[in-house]
Amino acid sequence: MRPATDALIVIDVQNDFCPGGALAVAGGDEIISRINGLMDNFATVVLTQDWHPANHASFAANHPGAAPFSLTQMPYGPQVLWPTHCVQGTTGAEFHGALRTDPAQLVIRKGFRPEIDSYSAFFENDRTTPTGLEGYLRSRGVTSVTLVGLATDYCVAYSALDAARLGFAARVLEGAARTIDLNGSLAEARSQMRAAGVALEE
């Protein structure tokens, strides 16, 4: 068992991010058995779930003429325009059927505000609007977090960076995560995580 002060944060293991999904991460389903095995080692397990309305501003389809994976400017900074994914109430937004959900004490839904995207488990992309996860973890006595899931270079990295910024000891198990690697995003994310003191382990 990990110390009771260490929480497992499982990021966005949903159908749309797994093979066959609308924004599939290569090998996204390959990590599920390892994540399932990790859950029994943690007293605190949290799942996050991308949960977008159909009119979400991060969807390329809601910007006439914009191509998926192109960049646009939002009030909070640059924003990748994604294929429509994880729309509330759809099969794509559901957790992958092989993922254990019973051990989780909390599910954090993010990205439900139409005007702002939310990669991190802790904050919207403005980096100031909180999800409530920080307060939950502190009330449980958690001081360190172990992050796994999808995708390493976006939601996992943003969550790890925010955890470090909030004073949690953070580590990412890269063997229990998979990456999108859009225009060098993986190398950049790893560099940022190392600089912030996030431990990268297999």
Catalytic residue numbers read 12, 110, 155
**Please, are residues 47 and 108 in contact by the beta-carbon 8 Å criterion?**
yes
Instruction: Give the number of other Cβ atoms within 10 Å of residue 170's Cβ.
Output: 24
- 9 sits in which H/E element: strand 6-11
Q: Given the structure tokens 């390892």, which residue do they identify? A: 34
What 3-state class would DSSP assign to 63?
coil
Tell me 100's DSSP state. -
How far are the Cα atoms of 121, 127, 142 from residue 38, in angstroms, in the given order? 19, 29, 17
Lookup result for tokens 């225009």: 183
Residue 170 Cα distances to 52, 149, 159, 162, angstroms? 27, 14, 9, 9
Non-local (6+) Cβ contacts of 102 within 8 A are: none
CA pair distance 47, 173, nearest whole angstrom = 15
